[in-house]
Amino acid sequence: MAKKKEVARANYGMETIIDLHNCDTSKFNRKDLKKFFIEVTKIIKAERCKLCWWDDHGLPEEEKQTLPHLVGTTAVQFISTSNVIIHTLDILENAYINIFSCSVFEPQEVLEYCQKYFSGDVVTFQTVERK
């Protein structure tokens, strides 16, 4: 019986998770969210790639979300080493941010930027090592 090869386990980066409440919802629009992505990717020293949106932008009124836990914008900023994702909830004034990169970055610096940019209260802040 052949022996199973040992595969070295590599660290595949880190993910920082930030939940902000009581945010300044005037920043919950495509223009300001794009500025957010530009700045946060500078902070983590990542190359921005494709930016994708999921929101009610351009939909007729009757097709727009009305439930508080659904009204908002989801955007994915792909970066050369993974992605930055934000979910905003306009009525609830919340922002949920995930920053996943195979490169090392300073989570506290990212947290301070996010909190300042959205003027929100930090409810969750954690960083995990991805393996």
Q: 1 pLDDT exceeds 90?
A: no
| Average pLDDT for the chain | 92
| Residue 105 confidence (pLDDT) above 60 | yes
Whether the pLDDT of residue 34 is over 80: the answer is yes
Q: Is the residue at 93 inside a domain?
A: yes
CB 46 within 8 Å of CB 101:
yes
Residue 55: the pLDDT is 86
Q: Identify whether 52 is part of a domain.
A: yes
Nearest to 29 by CA among 57, 60, 52, 68: 57
Output the pLDDT for position 12.
83
Q: What is the 8-class DSSP label of residue 127?
A: E
What is the CATH number for 75?
Answer: 3.60.90.10
Q: Is residue 100 part of a domain?
A: yes
Domain assignment present for residue 48? The answer is yes
Percent of the chain with pLDDT over 70: 92
Task: Quote the number of domains for the chain.
Answer: 1
pLDDT average, residue stretch 27-48: 97
Task: Return the DSSP state at 63.
Answer: G
Give domain status of residue 9, yes or no: no
| pLDDT at residue number 5 | 60
Q: Is the pLDDT of residue 102 over 70?
A: yes
Residue 130's pLDDT band (cuts 50, 70, 90):
confident
- Any domain includes 16: no
**In whole angstroms, what is the distance from residue 88 CA to residue 116 CA?**
16
pTM of the model as a whole:
0.87
Confirm whether 4 is domain-assigned. no
Which residues does residue 77 pair with via DSSP β-bridges, in sequence order? 51, 84
The parent domain of residue 125 ranges over 24-129
Is 17 within the bounds of a domain?
Answer: no
